[in-house]
Amino acid sequence: MHKILANTLFLGKDIKYLPDCHSTNDIAFQLVREGEGLEGTIVICDFQKAGKGQRGNTWESQPGQNLTFSLILQPSFMDVSEQFYLNMAVSCAIQKVLEDYFPLIQIKWPNDVIVPQKGKLGGVLIENSLGKSGWEYAVVGIGLNINQTEFGNSKAVSLKSLTGTEFSKDEILRQLVTQIEQYYLLLKKRKWAQIEAEYQRNLYLFQKEAEFLVGEEKLHGKIIGLKPSGQLLLETNTQEIKTFDFQAIRFPDYSS
pLDDT digits (tens, 9 = 90+) for 141-162: 999 999 999 988 778 999 999 9
Asked if the model's pLDDT at residue 60 lies above 80, the reply is no
Domain identity same for 34 and 153: yes
Domain identity same for 147 and 222: no
Domain identity same for 127 and 226: no
Domain identity same for 123 and 187: yes
Domain identity same for 48 and 136: yes
Give the pLDDT score at 106.
97
**Domain holding 101: CATH number?**
3.30.930.10
Domain identity same for 225 and 133: no
Measured between alpha carbons, how far is 37 from 149 in angstroms, rounded to an integer?
A: 34
pLDDT by residue (tens digit) across 64-108?
899 999 999 999 999 888 899 999 999 999 999 999 999 999 999
Asked if the model's pLDDT at residue 58 lies above 60, the reply is no
Give the pLDDT score at 231.
95
Domain identity same for 194 and 216: no
In a domain, 4, yes or no: no
Q: What are the CA-CA distances from residue 189 to residues 86, 90, 91, 95, 97 (Å)? A: 13, 15, 18, 21, 22
Asked if the model's pLDDT at residue 256 lies above 50, the reply is no
Give the angle 143-146-152 at the CA atoms, nearest 5°.
75
In a domain, 80, yes or no: yes
In a domain, 253, yes or no: no
Give the pLDDT score at 63.
77
Domain identity same for 173 and 156: yes
In a domain, 160, yes or no: yes
Give the pLDDT score at 53.
52
Domain identity same for 104 and 227: no
Domain identity same for 233 and 158: no
* The 210-214 sheet, strands edge to edge: 210-214, 217-226, 232-236, 241-244
In a domain, 145, yes or no: yes
> What is the extent of the structural domain holding 30?
15-201
What is the residue-averaged pLDDT of the chain?
A: 91
In a domain, 122, yes or no: yes
Q: How many domains does the chain have?
A: 2
Beta-strand relationship, 119-131 and 134-144: antiparallel
Mean pLDDT is lowest, of 60-64, 92-96, 116-120, for 60-64
pLDDT by residue (tens digit) across 11-48?
999 999 999 998 999 999 999 999 998 999 999 999 88
In a domain, 190, yes or no: yes
Domain identity same for 152 and 215: no
pLDDT by residue (tens digit) across 223-235?
999 998 899 999 9
Asked if the model's pLDDT at residue 197 lies above 90, the reply is yes
Give the angle 199-200-203 at the CA atoms, nearest 5°.
85
Domain identity same for 56 and 156: yes
Give the pLDDT score at 62.
75
In a domain, 2, yes or no: no
Asked if the model's pLDDT at residue 215 lies above 80, the reply is yes
